[in-house]
Amino acid sequence: MLDKVSDWGRLNLYQFNPQKTQVCAFTAKKNPFVVSPKFQGTPLVASASIGILGVDISSDVQFRGHLEEKAKLASKKLGVHSRVGQYFMPAHRQFYKVQVRPHMEYCCHLWAGAPQCQLRPFDRIQRRAARMVDDRFLSNRLDSLALRRDVASLCIFFHIYHGECSEELFGLIPAAKFHERTSRQNSRYHPYHLDDWRSTIVRFRRSFLPRTTSLWNSLPPAIF
């Protein structure tokens, strides 16, 4: 496959940089990835994690390191603001929404299914920000981060469902099969119902497509 990519680049006058090419084997197996591929004659060494557009994904498809880094950065920004906030008290809420919260929401549809123990630091940061604002009217208008993660997942899923993506990604959406249902059973499903992804592996059920498919099916018909 790497040879085909290289040939495509040569035919289309596109030059790749093998030195900047990252390799990561995404697998749940504990055995190390021993294959060492070459790209344009340059050996590529597999790493334990890979960074894609600001999101760090580990080889076991876990986001613990990424979430800890984002929570630490958000907490640091909030701490700096708390020390100087006495001079800029009216700007507390705006600062939180513009400077702090984006770190806790960026690409959150990817890691929304992470274990709760990894997501609790974000909730603590939001409660800390609410105490700093010290205005219940403003704090109550802040949506919970769990809700924001679900909304982000459903927005991305909506585009995929309607084919506003690559054909490969659209092909992953499981179309609902026809079932002989009674009228009572039909009332449980909305017209856009999809068959759930079946798996006994918790890590798989927490990933984006299976988790969001279940969330999509649980929405009331009035939303559609």
Which of 102, 124, 142 corresponds to the end of one domain? 142
Give domain status of residue 82, yes or no.
yes
- Confidence check: pLDDT of 84 > 80: no
Number of domains in the chain: 3
Give domain status of residue 54, yes or no.
no
Which of 84, 109, 142 corresponds to the end of one domain? 142
Measured in whole angstroms, the distance separating CA 90 from the mean position of its chain's CA atoms is 32
Closest CA to 49 of 71, 36, 70, 33: 33
Please say whether the dihedral angle defined by the alpha carbons of residues 161, 165, 170 and 173, taken in this order, is positive or negative. Answer: negative
Give domain status of residue 53, yes or no.
no
Give domain status of residue 36, yes or no.
yes
Domain around 35: 2-47
Greatest mean pLDDT among 87-91, 128-132, 185-189 lies in 128-132
Q: Which amino acid is at 205?
A: R
Question: Helix or strand or coil: residue 58?
Answer: strand
Give domain status of residue 90, yes or no.
yes
- Confidence check: pLDDT of 52 > 90: no
Q: E strands within the chain?
A: 38-39, 42-43, 49-52, 55-58
167-207 confidence digits (pLDDT tens):
888 888 876 665 555 566 666 677 788 887 888 888 888 88
Residues paired with residue 42 on neighbouring β-strands, in sequence order = 39
Question: Residue 120 has which token pair?
Answer: 């609790």
- Confidence check: pLDDT of 141 > 90: no
Same domain (yes/no): 159, 215: yes
- Confidence check: pLDDT of 64 > 80: yes
Give domain status of residue 56, yes or no.
no
Give domain status of residue 52, yes or no.
no
